[in-house]
Structure 1
Amino acid sequence: MTAATRTEQDAFGTVEIRSDRYWGAQTQRALGVFEIGEERFPAVLVRTFGLQKFAAARANVQCGVLAPVLASAIETAALELHEGLWDDHFPLTIWQTGSGTQTNMNANEVIANRANELLGRPLGTKAPVHPNDHVNASQSSNDSFPTVMHVAAAIEMTGRLRPALDELRSALAERSHAFASVVKIARTHLMDAVPMTMGQTFATFEHQISNALARADGALPRLLTIPQGGTAAGTGLNAPRDFDGFFCATLAEATGLAFAPNPHKFEGMAAHDALVEASGALNTIATSLLKIANDIRFLGSGPRCGLGELLIPDDGLTSSIMPGKRNPTIAEVLVQGCFEVIGNHQTITLAGASGNFELNVAKPVLIYNLLQSLRVIADSVRVFSRRLVCGIEVDRERLVKNVNQALLAVTALNPILGYDRVAQITATALEDRITPRAAAIALGFIDGDEYDRLVDPAVLARGGRL
């Protein structure tokens, strides 16, 4: 059975649209033009358009551009969009013109139709609220879409990524404190080295995440500087004086973030360096997280035939063929998420370099990948923190055995016996398959009591010189 349709008119003629759809002629035409892929913008970007149109309507009233009765209906419809009521009425994929014009028009049409409905008019009438003349007043896709890009990225950075990283930092700090006195053997070049503590290992992870938070915070100020008011090319044609200031004040009040007008709107529309910078921070954060996740995977490998120094919490999942097998699935998810972010950064870099004269023409693919990176990192970090890090324990018996068998604790004897004699101890211990303590005594270099006094792994883990 064919769904009922309505007929809408635009500059290119008539077009048929499902009668229950709130988009208009331009969106319907775009559906027929851009039959590419299935990737759609995440809800945060669609809903951010609601914020952007709300702030624009309020600024237009303050500038005397919009009648209050029309602005009120637009604001109500825009806030409904922001609240997620009209997510299903954004059917386009990200594969569209490089300015994001079709998604901006989609937002204009949905809001105009809903505003007219609120004013007692049927869908498709374009009156009294017109999608271009009223919803898009004082705007262009060329300044609106990059503004939405900045706002959505800033919302995800502050509301999603930062809390997840802070939660992970706290979990790592707690495990660092819990393992502060647990001695282990460091590994360099994947080989045994000198004593340290498991607490120091987790303190290292904690410091990496503290730096990750600083990197996210460092990228934020440029995200909060937006080009709205530049209209088509950055000159501000058809935008009234002070529109950008009123717009940012409304946006800041609505989000709690200190958005401010870009003083050089040409830069904010032709280049997206701020977004590439944010992706660069995520790229570095992903690199840090890869190190942490892989170290935990390997330290927990086993349980019988691997390193087995960490005890990874059971996630209740197992192998399809090996009954009872437990795998570090949460760490593996984080690793895969990091791969995605690192790959996305390459796409974002190329997209950011695709500004031609006064307009960047790769906005949709840039923001799609950036928002995916923010979402994947934030969500996988949160799961990693709650389902793995918080429940990690140490196998103390295994660690004691490893420390007692380790060769390189005798490095502490270098200042007393000299490098060559200590090398003899390690070589003898390795060849005869005995402990370095037994080798040192057998070689006559030191007695057992003196060895135990000088080669105390817990003391050596604190560093310094004997």
Structure 2
Amino acid sequence: MTDEFRIEKDSLGEVRVPAAAYWGAQTQRAIHNFPITGLRPYPAFVWSMTLIKRAAAEVNNDLSLFNAKEVAGRAISGEQMAAAIIQAGDEILAGGYADQFVVDPIQAGAGTSHNMNINEVMANRANEILGFGLGEKGKPVNPNDHVNMAQSTNDTIPTAIRLGALWRLDELLATLERLATELRRKAQEFDGIVKSGRTHLQDAVPVRLGQEFAAYARAVERDADKIRESAAGLRRLGIGGTATGTGLNAHPEYHRRMVDVIGRISGLELFESDDLFESMQSMADAVHFSGALRTLAQDLTRIANDFRLLASGPTTGLDEIRLPPVQPGSSIMPGKVNPVLAEMLNMAMFQVMGNDLTVMLAGQAGQLELNVMMPIIAFNLFQSMDVIINAVNSFIDNCVVGITANAEKATGWLAKNAILVTALNPVIGYQKGAEVAKEALATNRTVREVVIEKGYITGEEADQLLDVSALTEGGIQGVAAGG
């Protein structure tokens, strides 16, 4: 070993590894082979893979599967090796050694490089705990034989995808609950403001601004429910299937014990798979969960678009709401302020929708006993959750809580809205109503003025039938309830 590197070996031969690195030969080969994006695995992936390894060490030790070794005159018991692996895992779960997980998300199929990166780091840290240096020969804990005992890339990676999504599920749902709560607060604040509804981007019958915002809140709540429901399938773990689903090289009790231990350590509600082959062949649960994230993304895109429309102008647009001015909007036009948080949310949700397409395509690309596209499924799924959480929190803090209503503009547009005549249909009929609307538009007068002038109803009747607040509550104008 030199000051710069040490020599590590794998089944293909010797590899130079940075002297201070906790990874080994297979990770170093992946660094060389896959310089694709410059990105690293998400913390959710490192956490979930480490959790699996840490739990496996406990389970395999309880099953008396660790054998003692003698190294450099030292007797190392199986219990000592297991304890060292468990300690290394606990340190990583607590956030340690994060800089040691270095394999690009776009890599060899299935995620063997990811798996070996975890195995090598945990093995080297376990050996260090046992008193052996990184470059020391004959270290007792082996990445494959001990850290990876009773495991395969083929069952750890799909299990990690499930656990990593569940790890941040509560945080994601809490973020959406916060967004819905803030939208409902705005709904209450704006409930007294009656404005023009719009369909086809054309004038429609009146609504209250509060009703629009309450609908946004309800949409977010429903999308959160869909995400919660879709996550149920992720709780079914296939760990213990090893290479193809048969469980070869795993103790018969390993699967059951692993689900119990992972659940205990993580605090997650987890279940045993009812078919280990299906749990390894199919990525449908991850695809389903990603689809629920996409459904949320399209709703948030729609809401962001509405905010941009409602705030458009201000002098030549709708200008019914005002978004907080958080930064100058132009490098050339002084005083311009743009709806930057709504634009950010649009872009973030487009990313989530694109990620979902990748997950769907990768999910259907599995063949026979394995889906080799799991690394990109994991990366895109975890990125989608990360993007949603961060984007929505910023949208809440920097936009939603500071929205104000421009009641004067909203009610001003409504006063000019000829579609108010719809409320008169039960009294004067559709044809006369169309006649009134056309004349009101052509002469730039109000519906009230025209309908009274034509003698279709009196002024008193017009005031009653065209009460815009009453129109937002539904019902048939001019007809008593139950009449």
With normalisation by structure 2, the TM-score equals 0.93
Structure 1 counterpart SS, 2:327: coil
8 Å contact from structure 1 (residues 183, 399) kept in 2: yes
Task: Quickly say closer, same or farther: Cα 1:149–1:126, change in 2 above 3 A.
Answer: farther
Residue 430 (str. 1) matches residue 454 (str. 2): no
1:114-193 alignment, distance < 5 Å: 114-124=125-135, 125=137, 127-159=139-171, 161-193=172-204
8 Å contact from structure 2 (residues 310, 320) kept in 1: yes
8 Å contact from structure 1 (residues 116, 126) kept in 2: no
Distance 2:196 2:35 in 1: 58
Q: Of the candidates 328, 340, 362, which is equivalent to residue 351 of structure 1?
A: 362
Write the deviation string for residues 297-322 of structure 1: whole angstroms up to 9, x where unpaired: 10011221110001111213332111
Structure 2 counterpart SS, 1:459: helix
Identical aligned residues as a percent = 40
- Structure 1 stretch 172-181 or stretch 316-325: which is displaced more? 316-325
Residue 26 (str. 1) matches residue 26 (str. 2): yes
Q: Of the candidates 97, 109, 121, which is equivalent to residue 110 of structure 1?
A: 121
Task: Please name the residue that 2:450 is paired with.
Answer: 439
Distance 1:388 1:193 in 2: 27
Structure 1 counterpart SS, 2:393: helix
Task: Please name the residue that 2:75 is paired with.
Answer: none
Distance 2:432 2:31 in 1: 78
Runs of 4+ deviating beyond 4 Å: none
1:361-400 alignment, distance < 5 Å: 361-400=372-411
With normalisation by structure 1, the TM-score equals 0.97
Structure 2 counterpart SS, 1:93: coil
Q: Return the offset for 1:44.
A: 2.0
Structure 1 counterpart SS, 2:109: coil
Residue 101 (str. 1) matches residue 107 (str. 2): no
Structure 2 counterpart SS, 1:139: coil
- Structure 1 stretch 131-140 or stretch 316-325: which is displaced more? 316-325
Structure 1 counterpart SS, 2:9: strand
- Structure 1 stretch 83-92 or stretch 105-114: which is displaced more? 83-92
Q: Return the offset for 1:152.
A: 0.6
Residue 58 (str. 1) matches residue 44 (str. 2): no
Q: Of the candidates 267, 270, 276, which is equivalent to residue 259 of structure 1?
A: 270
Write the deviation string for residues 23-47 of structure 1: whole angstroms up to 9, x where unpaired: 0111112222223332321122123
1:278-293 alignment, distance < 5 Å: 278-293=289-304
1:415-426 alignment, distance < 5 Å: 415-426=426-437
8 Å contact from structure 1 (residues 62, 246) kept in 2: no
8 Å contact from structure 1 (residues 74, 111) kept in 2: yes
Residue 11 (str. 1) matches residue 11 (str. 2): yes
8 Å contact from structure 1 (residues 219, 278) kept in 2: yes
Task: Please name the residue that 2:94 is paired with.
Answer: 83
Distance 1:189 1:180 in 2: 23
Distance 1:456 1:293 in 2: 31
Count of residues in correspondence between the two structures:
464
- The amino acid that maps onto 2:395 is F
Q: Return the offset for 1:193.
A: 0.6
8 Å contact from structure 1 (residues 290, 334) kept in 2: yes
Structure 1 counterpart SS, 2:336: coil
Residue 459 (str. 1) matches residue 445 (str. 2): no
8 Å contact from structure 1 (residues 113, 126) kept in 2: no
1:268-279 alignment, distance < 5 Å: 268-279=279-290
Distance 1:293 1:207 in 2: 15
Q: Please, which runs of 5 or more residues in structure 1 have no aligned partner?
A: none
8 Å contact from structure 1 (residues 77, 115) kept in 2: yes
- The amino acid that maps onto 1:419 is Y
Task: Please name the residue that 2:425 is paired with.
Answer: 414
Q: Return the offset for 1:184.
A: 0.9
Task: Quickly say closer, same or farther: Cα 1:216–1:307, change in 2 above 3 A.
Answer: same
Write the deviation string for residues 43-100 of structure 1: whole angstroms up to 9, x where unpaired: 2212322211111111112222232211110011112222222121122211222110
- The amino acid that maps onto 1:140 is S
Distance 2:125 2:46 in 1: 15
Task: Please name the residue that 2:40 is paired with.
Answer: 40
Task: Please name the residue that 2:323 is paired with.
Answer: 312
Structure 1 counterpart SS, 2:36: coil
Q: Return the offset for 1:3.
A: 5.3
Q: Return the offset for 1:323.
A: 1.7
8 Å contact from structure 1 (residues 112, 126) kept in 2: no
- Structure 1 stretch 101-110 or stretch 56-65: which is displaced more? 56-65
Task: Quickly say closer, same or farther: Cα 1:334–1:126, change in 2 above 3 A.
Answer: farther
- Structure 1 stretch 105-114 or stretch 66-75: which is displaced more? 66-75
- Structure 1 stretch 149-158 or stretch 163-172: which is displaced more? 149-158
Q: Return the offset for 1:375.
A: 1.1
Write the deviation string for residues 85-137 of structure 1: whole angstroms up to 9, x where unpaired: 21211222112221101110111010000000010011144621111111001
Task: Please name the residue that 1:302 is paired with.
Answer: 313
Task: Please name the residue that 2:228 is paired with.
Answer: 217
8 Å contact from structure 2 (residues 41, 102) kept in 1: no
Write the deviation string for residues 413-454 of structure 1: whole angstroms up to 9, x where unpaired: 111111111111111101111111111122221222221111
- Structure 1 stretch 171-180 or stretch 41-50: which is displaced more? 41-50
Distance 1:237 1:319 in 2: 63
- The amino acid that maps onto 1:191 is Q
Distance 1:272 1:338 in 2: 23
Write the deviation string for residues 242-300 of structure 1: whole angstroms up to 9, x where unpaired: 21222122221222211222121111111100000011101111111111111111001
Q: Of the candidates 73, 79, 94, which is equivalent to residue 68 of structure 1?
A: 79
